[in-house]
Amino acid sequence: MSLVTASGPESSSSVLPQVTELRLSAFRGARRVRVPMSGLTLVTGPAGSGRSTVVEAYEALSRLAAGESLRQVFGTAEGGPSSYVPRSAGPDELGRRGFRIGVTVTGPVGDVRLDLAVQAEPSLRVVGERLSDHSRVLLSTALRDPRRPVVQAEWHTAGVKAVTSGPLPDDRLATPVLPLRVAGSTQGQRQVLAAAEQTVRALRAAFACSPRPSLMRTAAPVGESRLRSSCENIAAVLRRTRGECESHTELAAMLSEICTGPRVEDLVTELSAGPTTEAEPGLVRAVLERGAAGRTPLDALSDAELRCVAQAFVLLTGSRALLDDSARSGRSVREAAQQPLVVLADDLDLGLEPHHTRELLALARRMGEEGGHVRLLATMEDAALAETMDGASVVKLGGVPVPAGGTPGG
C-alpha cells in the first residue's frame, strides 16, 4: 500500500523513522513492560519471564502495519487469540477480554505514539486504536456497536471541522488505512498522514530471523531471491547479493572467527548437479572457501555455526536480503542499502558458545552505529554477557510475570 507523503520541508528530511519504545501494556504474561530501543536492544530474563513475548509483540505490530488482518496475525497461534490475553484479565460487563500493545516512533515529524487494544473474546476485533503526537490525538478508534464489524474512527482535520469521523474495518490496524480515507487537503490532515506514514514505515521495516539449521542444510532453489525467516534459502540469496553489495568480505572475516577449522577466505555458492534451464533452474548450495585447505560445504557446519552464519548474513546484508524478484533493479538495490531494518532474533544465544554470541553482538552494535540502518532486537538467556555489551539497551524481565487485569480497551 502506498502512503501519501506530507508536503512541506519535513517530508524530505533524511531522518530515518525508528521505533524508540515498545510497550506491552497487557500481552500474554507481560504487564506494563516498556522496552526502550536503540541500535542494539537485548531482552534478558529466566525461562518463563516473557522474553519471547517481547519479540512476538513487535513482529505482530509489524505485520499489522503491513496490512495483515488480526486473524492472520493472532488467529493461528496455539490456543487461538485468547492465548494472548493475560491469564488473570477478567471479562468486562460485556464479557470481553483482550490485550494491549503499542510503540513510540521517532522521525521527521517528531515522536508519534501508537497504542492498540484488541478484543480476543468473544470475537477477535480491534476495540481501540490511538495515534498521537506530543500535543494532540491524531487518530482514535472505538468500538461503538458490537453488532457491526466496524470501529468508529475520528481523525484530526483542523479545517471547517476540527475532527472528521467515519467507520473503518474492525479486523485491521487503522493507521495504514488512513491514506485511503484522509484527503490531505488541510494542514491538520497532512499532519495525520505524515504521522501515519512515519509509524507504518518504521514498523514494516522488520525481519524475524529464526534460523533452522536442519533446513539450512538442504540445497535451495536458484530462483528464490527473498530470504525466508528460517534462512533455509540463504544459499540462493547469497548467490544474488554477492554482486549487489560489498558485505561478503566482512562476512568471510566474521565466519573465520565463528567457524572451527582453517581460516575462511570467502563464502561462495555452487550449483548442484541437475537441470539449470529457465523452466528448471536447479539448486544451489553455499560453500566456505578455505584456500589451500579446500572447501567446506555450509551444511557441514554445526547447528550453532549455522545459526551464527545466518544472523551475521542478515545483519551485514540488511534490507537487500529481502528484495523480491520485482525489486531487483540496480536502483532498488542501492535504495535497499539505505533502508532501515530491525532484525528480530528470539533466543539469539541458543546453543551458542559465549564467543559466538560476543561476535554477533559486536557486529550488531557496529551496524546499529553506522548510520543506524540495521538494528537488532534480541532476547538472550545469558544476562551477564548482555550486560557487558557497551552501548546496548538491556531490559531485564523478572522471573515471575505479573498478571494483568482490566478490560481490553482500558
C-alpha cell, 303 = 547447528
Q: What share of the chain is helix, strand, coil (3-state, %, to 5)?
A: 30, 25, 40
Which one-letter DSSP state was computed for residue 319?
G
- State how far the Cα of 102 lies from the Cα of 397, in Å rounded to an integer: 18
Task: Classify residue 197 as exposed, middle or buried by CB count within 10 Å of its CB (0-12, 13-18, 19+).
Answer: buried
Identify which of 76, 174, 71, 37 has the alpha carbon closest to the alpha carbon of residue 116: 174
C-alpha cell, 390 = 557497551
- State how far the Cα of 280 lies from the Cα of 262, in Å rounded to an integer: 35
- State how far the Cα of 378 lies from the Cα of 360, in Å rounded to an integer: 11
Q: What digits encode the pLDDT tens for the residues 174-198? A: 999 999 888 888 999 999 999 999 9
**Each residue's pLDDT tens digit in the chain (410 positions)?**
233 333 333 343 468 899 999 999 999 999 999 999 999 999 999 888 899 999 999 999 999 999 999 999 999 999 999 999 998 888 888 888 999 999 999 999 999 999 999 999 999 999 999 999 988 999 999 998 888 999 999 999 887 678 899 999 999 999 999 998 888 889 999 999 999 999 999 999 999 999 999 999 999 998 888 999 999 999 999 998 887 667 778 888 888 888 889 999 999 999 876 555 555 568 999 999 999 999 999 999 999 999 999 999 999 999 988 887 655 555 555 665 668 899 999 999 999 999 999 999 999 999 988 667 899 999 999 999 999 999 899 999 984 333 333 334 33
Q: Which residues pair with 152 in a beta bridge?
A: 142, 167
Rounded to two decimals, the pTM is 0.89
Rounded (5°) CA angle 341-194-345: 20
Contact 294, 310 (CB under 8 A): no
